[in-house]
Amino acid sequence: MKDIDEFVRSLAKPRSGDRHFNMYWGRSKSSMRARHNLRIYLDYAIMNQAKIMLVGEAPGYLGAAKTGVPFCSPSILHHFSHSKKLKFQCPPDNIVEKTANYVWKTLSITGLGFHLWNIFPYHPHVRNDRASNRKPTLAEIRTHYHLTANYIRLTGADEIIALGRVAEKGLKEMGIYHQYVRHPSFGGHNEFQAQMEKLLTAYS
């Protein structure tokens, strides 16, 4: 748990900017909730010896920006909290995020444990509009490669899957061996599911 706490503290250090939101920074109720939830999730995944990591692009404003857990909208967190009897602090709303739903629907079929992460760990948004999403720049991603490297070391994951081209490019630059699957957005969910099922059959 000490290593998890140190990682979460390092993740919480950078302040938010006018084009990105660090949901872990500060002493607000939402930032404390985000840090708490990520600790709970990491502890659960590590204790269950998950060895596969899915790395996406960045948190969305309806997902991890609210919950603190990658690929986890409030709706999924509520379900995860009850089904696994974990002490998450759920946001009061029950918002659904499409990408998160596609990911969890596919992962739940396999019965395997997963670590979830984003190559850019904070929420990138249109300038001064947190209720929006944008693609992180390569410069932004490169600035936080050390967090991705530390996350992989912390979790002990040995099978890395890049979700989409942004994550793929980052992992390639870092020299991390990985498999690639299509991002489920913009009509790609069927291809994403087929590619994931093929990969995970080999892992199981």
Question: How far is the C-alpha of 75 from the C-alpha of 137, rounded, in Å?
Answer: 29
Instruction: List the domains of the chain with CATH numbers.
Output: 2-203 (3.40.470.10)
Over residues 28-40, the pLDDT tens digits come to: 999 999 999 999 9
Cβ-Cβ contacts under 8 Å for 54 (sequence gap 6 or more): 71, 103, 107, 114, 115, 116, 117, 161, 163
> Mutual orientation of helices 98-110 and 74-84 as an angle, nearest 10°?
30
Q: How many of the other CB atoms lie within 10 Å of CB of 134?
A: 14
Over residues 104-155, the pLDDT tens digits come to: 888 876 666 789 999 999 999 999 999 999 999 999 999 999 999 999 999 9
